[in-house]
Amino acid sequence: HEVVPRYLSEKLMEQNRQKNIPPLSANQKSLIARLVWYQEGYEQPSDEDLKRVTQSDEEDEESDLPFRQITEMTILTVQLIVEFAKGLPGFSKISQSDQITLLK
The string of pLDDT tens digits covering residues 7-59 is 566 777 788 888 988 877 888 888 888 888 888 888 888 888 888 877 766 66
Q: Which domain holds residue 57?
A: 45-104
| 25 and 67 share one domain | no
Asked if 56 and 103 sit in the same domain, the reply is yes
From residue 36, how far is each of 5, 65, 93, 98, 102 by CA, in Å? 13, 35, 21, 23, 19
The answer on 51 and 28 residing in a single domain is no
* Mean pLDDT of the region 72-76: 90
Task: Tell me how far apart the alpha carbons of residues 79 and 92 are, in angstroms, rounded to a whole number.
Answer: 16
Are 104 and 76 in a shared domain? yes
Crossing angle of the two packed helices 65-86 and 47-54, in degrees rounded to 10: 150
Number of domains within the chain:
2
pTM over 0.75: no
Q: Note whether 60 and 87 are same-domain residues.
A: yes
37 lies in the same domain as 50: no
Contact predicate 99/85, CB 8 Å: yes
